[in-house]
A = this chain, B = another copy of it.
């Protein structure tokens, strides 16, 4: 068995799948990307993540690790010779973990809610997305301390957690005809998003907005029960 045999089971539109890929890129670890099909699950995925049956899964020397942020912490702990992803100070680590959980459980949950909501409910979700961005703008000021990223001079845990949603944020803006990241209200995040998307560790795994927009239309049609497109 090869040492450092690294595979990622994933799917290109998934923000969660981007996370281990960015972390591995930061650590300069070569890995094989095994793309799961949208409408069926591979035997390897079912074996590797029998509880949730979801991507991403990192398979490191035949051992599976599941759940995107747990994988990112694992990568940081195993490949210690590369740049650190978590801050070194325990308080800063707690703050990164807090906002990473907030992004998943509250902020992105609201953005997902927008997909199918109408009327008053839609407005409530949109307000929550916007309020969340205001909180994250404030958190950016505190975490970055005037530097480029939440993690300071380089991409850290919270950059990965939040940044992995940027392509979906752009799609949400297009679909809903709104500007969510905005020079007036979230100037720090606007600049941060540009830097994050241009980073060498991110560029190759960030989906193109137009391609993701097409996928989101397919997803919306599927949720309404329409048959999937032929290719």
Contact = CB atoms under 8 A, between A and B. Distances in A.
Interface stretch (A97-105, A143-151, A165-173, A177-185): A97-105
A70 B94 contact: yes
A91 B74 contact: yes
A102 B93 CA distance: 22
Nearest to A89: B77
B77 A65 contact: no
A135 B49 CA distance: 13
A67 B106 CA distance: 13
Contacts of A60: 91
B67 A90 contact: no
Interface string A31-70: 0000000000000000000010000000010010111001
A24 interface: no
Contacts of A74: 90-91, 93-94
Q: Oligomeric state, in number of copies?
A: 2
A49 to B, nearest CB: 10
Contact of A135 (B51, B67, B70): B51
Contacts of A91: 60, 63, 65, 74
A194 B78 CA distance: 35
Contact residues of A: prevailing secondary structure: helix
A71 interface: yes
A73 B97 contact: yes
B90 A70 contact: no
27 contacts: A51-B102, A51-B106, A51-B135, A60-B91, A63-B91, A65-B91, A65-B94, A65-B98, A66-B98, A67-B97, A67-B98, A67-B101, A70-B94, A70-B97, A70-B98, A70-B101, A71-B94, A73-B93, A73-B94, A73-B97, A74-B90, A74-B91, A74-B93, A74-B94, A77-B90, A77-B93, A78-B90
A98 B51 CA distance: 10
Interface string A69-88: 01101100110000000000
A93 B76 CA distance: 12
A71 B95 CA distance: 10
A153 B191 CA distance: 49
